[in-house]
Amino acid sequence: MLHYAVVFLVIALIAALFGFGGIAASAVGIAKVLFMIFIVLAIVSFVAGLMRRG
């Protein structure tokens, strides 16, 4: 999930460099959503790991 967020961020940077503002904005939005999903899943996984030990 984090890999795809970074890929979309790179796509956004390249699109912004060439002047494609709409594509860059869309790619940044997708990257933000994917990163937030990654953070939520990482926290859930961490909490589940702690509960399994105890």
Q: What pLDDT sits at residue 1?
A: 76
Average pLDDT of every residue of the chain: 92
List the domain range (segments joined by +) for residue 10. Answer: 2-53
Q: Domain tally for the chain?
A: 1
Give the pLDDT band (50/70/90) at residue 33: very high
Place of tokens 């970074």: 6
For residues 4 and 34, the answer to whether their CB atoms sit within 8 Å is yes
Model-level pTM? 0.79
Model confidence pLDDT, tens digit, residues 4-14: 889 989 999 99
Average the pLDDT over 4-29 and give the result: 91
For residue 19, the surrounding DSSP H or E stretch is none
